[in-house]
Structures are given as structure tokens and as C-alpha cells.
A and B are shown apart, each in its own frame.
Chain A
Amino acid sequence: MHKSIGQINERIRDGSAHVVTAEEMPRIVDELGEEGALREVDVVTTGTFGAMCSSGAFLNFGHSEPPIRMERIWLNDVEAYGGLAAVDTYIGATQQSETLDERYGGAHVIEDLVSGKSVELRASSRGTDCYPRRTITTELLLENLNQAIMCNPRNAYQRYNAATNTTDRLLHTYMGTLLPNTGNITYSGAGLLNPLTNDPHLRLIGSGVPIFLCGAQGMVVGEGTQHSPGGGFGTLMVTGNLKEMSPEYLRAATMTGYGVTLYVGIGVPLPVLDLDVVRATAVRDEDIPVDLLDYGVPSRARPKVRSVTYAELRSGSVEINGEQVRTSSLSSFRRARQIAAELKNWIGKGKMELALPTRPIDATKKVHPMHETTSGPRVLDIMDRQVVSVCEGEEIQTAAQKLLKGETNHLPVIGRDGRLAGIITTFDISKAVANPGKASTVGDIMKKKVVTTTTDEAVDVAVRKLEQNNISALPVLDADRHVIGMLTAINLGKLFGGRWLK
């Protein structure tokens, strides 16, 4: 059996279409069987509501008198793109305010416009014969704009890896607050309600397909940026009229310590054409695995802690090394459900008809990492290879002499096995001298918890370690924990010697 999109739209028009949400579909297939479900169900609606950083809107302000060709543009002190001439701009969700930092950004400008609040436009220009005006400041409401078109380059991720943090430091990431020592897990995504998860081979979702976008009837433009369905991480580029949107399904947010983002609500209705659609839309949370990654490693290749399913993530806790670790969702399943229900309501009432893609989206593509022709500086490039060190059993006085002679403030302490055992600074020695009698050897006064680096670590990563720990030197270790160099604040000066500044 097969149903055509024409037959389904006819049922939508005469009000007889049977529409269900993707959450209801698994049970229907269980009860009626695949053939039965195909006969019964005409449309399956999906929904997702979560942080989608790669979002924004094109705005047209209309011409002023005398006219201006805007070159630099700010909306409520948030810079918008000025390369579109003359009174067009693109406001990106993650752009931060020049005065309020991460507390306010492009996402907030968009939410304020949609909520009916006025936004201050400030722009400047060099002035030309045809556009003589040089500056403008005016208050605008959404209704004052000719066009306000949301166009989001990368939305509706098919799934997203979950995050945890094995370091002993609290981390602030785009995956939210990650407690130290694997203290919690964060995840994002609507699981079984997710649009692309219900159409993994992209048979139904493609260019021109009508969607729910933040309360408005929008459309899929095509594949999103970083689209990688070959690995299970497809994305969509979507568009819709900002003037028809609702703040209920569009919310600015701030991930503390990371920055501004926009919570976007998207739902895609899927026509139940054949058995393949029935099978795909019967997907359950337990069928959708993602990797749980360690965000404690600041690299593109974050280590995988284990594989988890959305069912496990949504259960409230996940087991890691025999311990139950609590989970936090960053997206809202409740709103995802509301979107799927609203879309069901629209189609049930004949407010929206379905369409097949006018152009298909590649369902096999995989994303590539950046092609880098120059690599940034590594610790190896600027570290001090002359290491003055001291042994654990040596007298404090010996250490003091070494510090003076070596003209350094930090001495790595080497244990009996030849590996790094601790570190002492001039401060530790001063303290020992000021309180005599308590300690005699280096081992008594050294700090055993040492923050270290390796030769192939990026200098930017090492610098963050220095800043975060409020220290000024890092011992450089080889794979065997032997000290092969030191990286100090003085070495960082080499970066400004011109070699790395091309």
C-alpha cells in the first residue's frame, strides 16, 4: 500500500486526515501493526525546542530621509552585519551586547522584537553622493520593519552528544554548567520527537517543506551547515517570518560563562506515504544512541566516556563506573511536545498542507574538520628546555640556592623514580623560612597537586590553565611524567616576537 501526498492533502482539506505526534506513533504501530498504522495514520508531527546558536534574522529598516547606506549597525548595542547595504542587516543570535556582555545579545534583540518591545537602531556610514547621511539613531518596533525574516543556518540537529566533565574544575560550556569529577551530565534534543530522527534518510524533509518555526509557518531551505547525516548528525537551514512568531516558542538564553544563544522551536509534519515512513516514525528513545563526551578535554576530539540512549538520559540518571550520575536536559521536552501538538492541531484544522521536497537533501554526507594550513603555536615551540629541578629529599636551603642561581620562581620536584612529584615556589620557601622548625626537606613543603602541560598542547590551552589556576608556570611532561621543560609567563613573551604573528 502507498499513499500519495495529494491524497493526504485532500484529507487535510476535507478535515478527515488522521494526524498523530511522533510520541504516539510507536504505540500505534505496536497495536495496529505496520500495515495497520499506514492505513490509519496520514501525518506524523514532530517537534523540538532547544538552544540553536546558529540562528538569526534578516531585517530591512526602510530608507531614512536623507538616505543612509549603513556600514556599522547596532540594535540595542548589539552589532549586526553591515555588509548588505543599504538598510538591510543580519542580526546573529550569539552576537553579544557591547555594554551588557553575555547578559544581552542578538537572541535577546530578536525576542524583544517578537515580544512587541521597541529596539534602538544605531548606524553609521561614510556618506556617499547617493546616500549622504552619516549617522542615524531611532527606536523601532517589529511592525516598523519592511521585512523581518528569520533564517537559521544550522538548526534542528538530528541528535546531540551528551556532556560530562572528568576534571576537578567546574566548567561553563555551551552544554551548560558541568560539575567537577563527573558530577552531572547534560544533554540536548527531543529524542523520539526530533524531526530528523523520524526521517533519517531524508526522504520527506528537504527544500521547500513547510514547518512550524517558532509559532509561524516556515519552511526548510535545505541542508544546514555542518550537516552530517552520515554520522547521524543531520541539520537543517530553516526560514520563517519573524512577524508571525510567538515568544512562547522563541527564547533568548545565556549559557553562563559561554554566551548568548537562542532557544528555537521547530516542528516538521511528515506525510505517512509508505511502510518505510511508518517504520522511521515508530522510533523510540531507546533506539537513539549518542556518545557521552568528556568536555574536560578542550579539543575537537573529546574522549568518549560511554554510549547512552535518549531513554537513559531522560530517565534522570546514567551509570558511569558503577555510580549513578544525574542528568540535566538543556532543551525542553515539554515544549517539544507542545510544538508537535500545535502542529497536529494546525493540520487537523486544515491550516497547513504538506509538501514533498522540491530538492532533496544529501542523506549520506559527513562533516569535515577545518583545513588548517598553519598550526598555532604549541608548548614545544616556546617552552624553556633548561629545567632547574630539585629532588624530593633535598634540604630546603638547597632548593633556595637553586631558585636564586636558576633565576626562577618555580622548581619542579623530582621523586625517587625520576618522575614529577610536586612543585615549590619562592613563596613556599619563604613560608618555610618564616616558620622554622616545621619542615626540613623539599618533600615537606612542596605542593603535590601540580598543573602540568605537554609539548604538543596548544599554547592557548596552556594559557587558560595558567589563568584559571592563577599560577605562572607549568612543568612540561613527557608521556612518562618526566619533566622535559617549563612553560612560564616569560616564555609567552616569545609569542610577540613576531614568529607567530604573521
Chain B
Amino acid sequence: MKLLVNFSKGKKNAPIIAQVVKETGVLISVERAVIDSSEGEALIEVPDNQCKLVRSSMTRHGASVRLLEHGINVNTSECVDCGACISICPREVFSFDTDWKLAIAEDRCIVCGKCVPACPHSALTLPL
């Protein structure tokens, strides 16, 4: 499962992810992270059955955690199945099916947003 973890100001020097890994023993894989002087955000992947454990540990350490249920959203009435997004995506979320229709492997999406401006038809939007 994918969790979006937000580290707010004040906790900036605490090695939260490392602490959680140590505490829970769960091997967290960081798929994407943006950290600057005031806050940070990381998208992490954890095994489904340990999600609750990681979540509560993260929260205890002061991070806010949100379950990422949806990946990139495709507006099918705007999409013309061109495929401009296919080579842009670092996680190979997009592909053509056998009928040359755009297929989306939503579970691979790390919500990086790189495909959004690459779509000529403004058919791609990030989930809220």
C-alpha cells in the first residue's frame, strides 16, 4: 500500500522514517520524496498487512499520514489514446492494450505528476 507522509516544521531533524523502520521492523520503500527547509513529503510503499502498524508509528512520531488510494486520474472523454504520456512516466503506468487503447496500471503510480503537462489534451489530473 502507498502512504503519503507529511513531515511538518519543528520535526525537521528527527529521522522519522528511520525510527519507524527500526521500531516496527517493516522495510519501508521510499518511492518519492520532497524535503525542503520547512516541510517534507514522502510517498512510501509498505506491505498491506503492516500498513496499520507503520501508520500508527509514523503518527506517533509527529508525521501526518494519508493512505494513497488513487493514482493518476484519466478523463476518458478528453483522452484520445495518443500515448504521449507513455514514455514520460518513470514508472511505466501507461501502455497500449491490444486495441491501441490507453491502459493504466494505477497501482504503479507514485503521483509524481510528470505526465500531467505532457498530455496534449489535458486529460490527466492528480488525485486530491
Contact = CB atoms under 8 A, between A and B. Distances in A.
Q: Do A and B originate from a single complex? A: yes
Interface of A: 49-51, 176-177, 179, 183-186, 251, 253-257, 261, 263, 316, 325-335, 337
By secondary structure, the B interface counts as: loop
Contact of A330 (B82, B96, B101, B122): B82
A329 B95 CA distance: 11
B100 A251 contact: no
B80 A177 contact: no
B100 A177 contact: no
Interface in B86-123: 86-88, 95-96, 99-101, 117-118, 120-122
Given A177-B117, A251-B121, A256-B118, A335 B81 contact: yes
B40 interface: no
Contact of A254 (B80, B83, B120): B120
A183 B90 CA distance: 10
A177 B88 contact: yes
B85 interface: yes
Task: Identify the 6 closest CB pairs spanning chains A and B, nearest first.
Answer: A184-B87, A253-B120, A326-B87, A328-B87, A334-B100, A177-B118
Contacts, number: 71
Contacts of A185: 87
Contacts of A316: 86, 95-96
B88 A328 contact: yes
Interface of B: 80-88, 95-96, 99-101, 117-118, 120-122
B121 A176 contact: no
19 contacts: A50-B82, A176-B118, A177-B117, A184-B88, A257-B117, A261-B120, A316-B86, A325-B87, A326-B86, A327-B86, A329-B84, A329-B86, A330-B82, A330-B83, A331-B82, A332-B82, A333-B81, A333-B100, A335-B80
Query: Which of A261, A263, A329, A335 counts the most chain B CB atoms within 10 A?
Result: A329
B87 A186 contact: yes
B83 A329 contact: yes
B95 to A, nearest CB: 8
Contacts of A328: 82-88
A327 B84 CA distance: 9
Contact of B80 (A179, A263, A337): A263
Nearest to B85: A328
Query: Which of B83, B85, B88, B120 counts the most chain A CB atoms within 10 A?
Result: B120
Given A316-B96, A329-B83, A329-B86, 8 more contacts: A177-B84, A177-B88, A253-B120, A254-B120, A257-B117, A328-B84, A334-B100, A337-B100
Contacts of B100: 332-334, 337
A327 B82 contact: no
B84 A334 contact: no
Contacts of A325: 87
Nearest to A51: B120
Contacts of A326: 86-87
A330 B84 contact: yes
Contacts of B96: 316
A340 to B, nearest CB: 12
Contact of A179 (B85, B87, B95): B87
